[in-house]
């Protein structure tokens, strides 16, 4: 039953995976009050993982990835309208169409968007794409159908690598440009990065690491690109896969701890204000949330994982309608998957929270393995490549802070495997700044006063 004060009106901003799952959970928990979902996309909630996989391969149409609604929501859907501001004192969400939506409890689930190419003139060239929405996927798939001569993928993280994989599977020529030493290094470190590089090249990708794209060329239409090593290529499609930007700008005047790294919240999904005081009626979940996790030294994690969006939304929804003692922490071990170049990659834990890695099962040579990551002598993550069956076992090791390297018997190698440095990038060198950072407003904004309705 509801705690005090009563929450008769719940508003969710962000009508995608986390928003939908939270709405379903609220109803499942017996919430009978008014429920409003606000989303700036015009589509009902849909799934994004297929966009860079089946949709780009032409196996599934971009408008066929809708998320099933698992129960009657009896909700007021406000789609195609952006929330432009939040007044936490008056408890209203301010919409760009001029409307105010009052709430008793609010869930922020505004996720992320694709980081744009930094030069607007070049980004506007015909043939330059990003991939985040179903509209992006439909447009890119249509251009791939037309048989471009060469696709340039800028950035070899998970999304960029999956796009390159889909293009090669279609038989298209692909160049991948990556600033780091190998694909996936930012997420998985050096050992699996090297494997990914080998596999991309074996699949015919023109992989260029340690370079940046300095210019996209064209006159109205993209014709090619220049690289920092002085080389250039002809290309008629470029996909910018430079990661994601958190959708927090609409909260700039709200007084919440919301910034480029997300909305900071506690383990119960309650948002912090900019002074670090936890709010009691504003919650956050999904890609936009930034939260402490005891397994990772209470560092604030910003995750872009489907499974996290679901689990955190369920905890947030439960806590929104539960009195204090019945609230639950969001303690799920992070997990994600990716498929690319014939590899089924699955991860549990946080591979970047590591100093060493060991191949505990299988081998790099066979591209069938489990890599286990450790930090200061305990297991913090495991990544399987075409061998997902034992991941639950490693999840248990992570949850129980088991010693690293895993004890003999935990691995199927005849000899004890030898850990090597995990070579995850120093977060301080990434463009996003250090992993543990103060979020929210700059010091000169300490005295920001919450704006009344515009």
Provide, rounded to whole angstroms, the least separation between the CB of residue 129 and ligand FAD: 12
- Closest to ligand FAD by CB, 111 vs 349, is 111
Bridging pattern class, strands 92-95 and 100-102: antiparallel
E strands present in 212-297:
213-219, 221-227, 232-234, 237-240, 244-246, 258-259, 262-264, 270-272, 278-284, 289-292
Q: Which two tokens stand for residue 33?
A: 């009050």
Provide, rounded to whole angstroms, the least separation between the CB of residue 123 and ligand FAD: 18
- Closest to ligand FAD by CB, 159 vs 200, is 159
381 forms beta bridges with: 349, 373
- Closest to ligand FAD by CB, 3 vs 84, is 84
The answer for residues whose C-beta is within 8 angstroms of residue 356's C-beta and 6 or more apart is: 373, 374, 375, 404, 405, 419, 420, 421, 422
- Closest to ligand FAD by CB, 13 vs 125, is 13
Provide, rounded to whole angstroms, the least separation between the CB of residue 22 and ligand FAD: 9
- Give the footprint of ligand FAD on this chain (CB under 6 A): 13-19, 38-41, 48-49, 51-52, 82-83, 109-112, 131-132, 159, 247, 250, 286-287, 304-307, 309, 336-338
Closest alpha carbon to 412 in 360, 453, 364, 447: 360
Provide, rounded to whole angstroms, the least separation between the CB of residue 417 and ligand FAD: 27
Closest alpha carbon to 373 in 182, 188, 158, 195: 188
- Closest to ligand FAD by CB, 51 vs 256, is 51
Provide, rounded to whole angstroms, the least separation between the CB of residue 145 and ligand FAD: 18
Provide, rounded to whole angstroms, the least separation between the CB of residue 34 and ligand FAD: 18
- Closest to ligand FAD by CB, 233 vs 383, is 383
Q: How many CB atoms lie within 10 A of CB 281?
A: 16
Provide, rounded to whole angstroms, the least separation between the CB of residue 49 and ligand FAD: 4
- Closest to ligand FAD by CB, 122 vs 287, is 287
Closest alpha carbon to 17 in 41, 35, 52: 41
- Closest to ligand FAD by CB, 40 vs 236, is 40
Q: Which two tokens stand for residue 203?
A: 């699949």
Bridging pattern class, strands 270-272 and 278-284: antiparallel
E strands present in 244-327:
244-246, 258-259, 262-264, 270-272, 278-284, 289-292, 300-301
One-character DSSP codes across 42-58: SSPPB-SGGGGTTTTTT
Provide, rounded to whole angstroms, the least separation between the CB of residue 340 and ligand FAD: 9
């Amino acid at each position: 039953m509801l705690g005090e004060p009563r929450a008769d009106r719940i508003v969710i901003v962000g009508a995608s995976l986390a928003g939908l799952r939270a709405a379903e959970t609220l109803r499942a928990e017996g919430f009978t009050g008014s429920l409003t979902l606000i989303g700036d996309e015009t589509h009902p909630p849909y799934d994004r993982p297929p966009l860079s996989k089946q949709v780009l391969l032409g196996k599934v149409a971009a408008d066929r990835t809708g998320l099933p609604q698992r129960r009657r929501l009896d909700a007021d859907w406000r789609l195609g309208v952006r929330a432009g501001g939040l007044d936490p004192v008056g408890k209203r969400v301010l919409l760009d169409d001029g409307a105010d939506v009052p709430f008793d409890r609010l869930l922020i689930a505004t996720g992320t968007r694709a980081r744009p190419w930094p030069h607007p003139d070049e980004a506007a060239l015909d043939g330059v794409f990003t991939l985040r929405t179903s509209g992006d996927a439909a447009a890119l798939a249509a251009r791939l159908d037309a048989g471009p001569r060469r696709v340039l993928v800028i950035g070899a993280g998970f999304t960029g690598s999956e796009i390159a994989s889909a293009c090669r599977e279609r038989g298209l020529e692909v160049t991948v440009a990556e600033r780091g030493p190998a694909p996936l290094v930012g997420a998985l470190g050096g050992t699996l990065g090297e494997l990914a590089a080998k596999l991309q090249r074996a699949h015919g990708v023109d992989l260029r690491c340690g370079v940046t794209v300095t210019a996209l060329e064209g006159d109205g239409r993209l014709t090619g690109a220049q690289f920092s090593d002085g080389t250039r290529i002809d290309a008629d499609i470029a996909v910018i896969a430079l990661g994601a930007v958190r959708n927090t700008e609409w909260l700039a005047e709200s007084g919440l701890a919301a910034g480029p790294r997300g909305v900071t919240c506690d383990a119960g999904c309650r948002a912090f204000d900019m002074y670090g005081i936890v709010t009691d009626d504003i919650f956050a979940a999904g890609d936009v949330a930034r939260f402490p996790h005891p397994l990772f030294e209470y560092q604030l994690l910003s995750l872009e994982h489907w499974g996290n969006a679901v689990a955190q939304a369920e905890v947030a929804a439960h806590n929104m309608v539960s009195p204090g003692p019945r609230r639950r922490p969001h303690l799920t071990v992070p997990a994600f998957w990716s498929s690319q170049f014939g590899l089924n990659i699955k991860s549990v834990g946080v591979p970047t929270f590591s100093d060493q890695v060991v191949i505990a099962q299988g081998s790099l040579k066979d591209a069938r393995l489990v890599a286990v990551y450790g930090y200061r002598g305990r297991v913090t993550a495991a990544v399987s490549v075409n061998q997902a069956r034992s991941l639950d076992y490693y999840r248990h090791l992570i949850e129980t802070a088991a010693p690293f390297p895993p004890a003999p018997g935990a691995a199927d190698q005849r000899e004890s495997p030898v850990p090597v440095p995990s070579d995850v990038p120093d977060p301080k060198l990434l463009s996003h700044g250090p992993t543990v950072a103060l979020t929210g407003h700059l010091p000169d904004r300490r005295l920001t006063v919450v704006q009344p309705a515009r």
